[in-house]
Amino acid sequence: DIQMTQSPSTLSASVGDRVTITCRASQNIASWLAWYQQKPGRAPNLLIYKASNLESGVPSRFSGSGSGTEFTLTISSLQSDDFATYYCQQYNSYSWTFGQGTKVEIK
């Protein structure tokens, strides 16, 4: 199975900061990577699909990049609503796995 490694596990930042989260796959997954935001007590919410495509309704301050084994999620200017946990998710051969998550906290 393909393993996904996110870094960092926790990130402390202030409103207005530029934030970058990295996700590494143990094998080449082309662009089959998605990013989700999860707030406490809620289901995950899709932000980015196919590595760099912004889901409809998601603010443009979110962006994704990468292919193969290295991917990043960037929040260009962190807003108060963005403090949450973020997960990457890969797909390969009818198997889906998530990264362990990155919690974005208020600095």
Partner 1 sequence: QVQLLESGPGLVKPSETLSLTCTVSGDAISSYYWNWIRQPPGKGLECIGYIYYTGSSNYNPSLKSRVTMSVDTSRNQVSLRLTSLTAADTAVYYCARVSASGWYFDNWGQGTLVIVSS
Which positions lie near partner 1, rule CB under 8 A? 1, 32, 34, 36, 42-46, 49-50, 55, 87, 89, 91, 94-101
Report the nearest approach of partner 1 to the CB of residue 104 (Å): 15
Is the CB of 43 or the CB of 80 nearer to partner 1? Answer: 43
Is the CB of 16 or the CB of 57 nearer to partner 1? Answer: 57
Report the nearest approach of partner 1 to the CB of residue 32 (Å): 6
Is the CB of 19 or the CB of 90 nearer to partner 1? Answer: 90
Q: What is the DSSP letter of 52?
A: T
Amino acid (one-letter) located at 89: Q
Report the nearest approach of partner 1 to the CB of residue 12 (Å): 19
Calpha distance 17→28 (Å, rounded): 31
Calpha distance 14→19 (Å, rounded): 9
Closest CA to 41 of 84, 89, 87: 84
Cα torsion angle, 44, 47, 53, 55, sign:
positive
Is the CB of 17 or the CB of 45 nearer to partner 1? Answer: 45
